[in-house]
Amino acid sequence: MLSLGGGVGSYSLASKEDAKNVATYLWNNILGGSSTSRPLGDAVLDGIDFDIEFGSTLYWDDLARYLKSYDGTGRKVYLTSAPQCPFPDSFLESALNTGLFDYVWVQFFNNPSCQYTSGDTGNINNSWTRWTTSINAGKIFLGLPAAPEAAGSGFIPPKVLVAEIIPMIKKSPKYGGVMLWSKYWDDQAAGAEPAC
């Protein structure tokens, strides 16, 4: 997967035509198309991850539709997304409403209104239920920081995660698993209680 966006800088799509041009570029240079200037050489990635956290909220739905239109070319194009846990995500709402995303890794951290907070599982449980009953996606993942230092807030101690959170979220047929941000932070916490 190639992730678009992230938490640094500003980025946007200028129009529906711009979204189409970006999709064509990604198909030919990153995914299953062909180009003489593929930045990853012969490597063919499986899809595109939308981690849109800044810029405009417009045309991400168009980009998703254009990318998915390449599904009929003999190669599946996977679409994933990493929205923030406040529902609906302010940048990705229209894209997620297309129903085209295979996997959604919801970031349940750095947002106290919908994350785990010091022994209180209510916010995260309520938010998980909202996401899994409101978004038409293949599978939804619980995105968490791998260590307390990996995010400003939202770290769940492993014992709480295993005993309280995972049994609750696994009840949803859309449960896909747990996504941890990131291995680097887990490695830095060596000697402490492991994330999983």
pLDDT band at 8 (very low <50, low <70, confident <90, very high): confident
pLDDT grade for 191, boundaries at 50, 70 and 90: low
Q: What is the pLDDT of residues 45-66, one digit of tens each?
A: 999 999 999 889 999 999 999 9
Q: Which residues are designated catalytic?
A: 53
Instruction: Please check whether residue 163 lies inside any domain of the structure.
Output: yes
Distance in angstroms (rounded) separating the CA atoms of residues 152 and 175:
25
Residue 89 inside a domain? The answer is yes
pLDDT at 195 over 80: no
pLDDT of amino acid 13: 97
In a domain, 193, yes or no: no
Residue 38 pLDDT: 95
Is residue 154 helix, strand or coil? coil
Residue 166 lies in a domain: yes
Residue 122 placed within a domain: yes
**Which pLDDT belongs to residue 118?**
87
Q: Is the peptide bond before 118 cis (omega within 30 degrees of 0)?
A: no
Mean pLDDT, range 136-141, rounded to an integer: 96
Q: How far is CA 46 from the centre of its chain?
A: 15
CATH of the domain at 139: 3.20.20.80
Residue 195 lies in a domain: no
- The domain total for the chain is 1
Coil vs helix vs strand at 5 = strand
Beta carbons of 60 and 81 less than 8 angstroms apart: no
Radius of gyration for the alpha carbons in the chain, expressed in angstroms and rounded:
18
Residue in this structure with the two tokens 């997620």, named with its chain if needed: 96
pTM for this prediction: 0.90
Would you put residue 192 in left (φ > 0), alpha (ψ -120 to 50) or beta?
beta
Residue 196 falls within a domain, yes or no? Answer: no
List own/partner pairs for 32-39 with CB under 8 A and 24 or more apart: 32/70, 32/73, 32/74, 32/75, 32/77, 33/70
Distance of alpha carbon 170 from alpha carbon 167, whole angstroms: 5
Question: Is residue 7 very low, low, confident or very high in pLDDT (cuts 50, 70, 90)?
Answer: confident
User: Is there a domain that residue 50 lies in?
Assistant: yes
Please, which pLDDT band fits residue 72 given cuts at 50, 70 and 90?
A: confident
Q: Domain residues for 163?
A: 2-188
Position 193 scores a pLDDT of 53
pLDDT, average across residues 143-165: 94
Tokens of 114: 């919908």
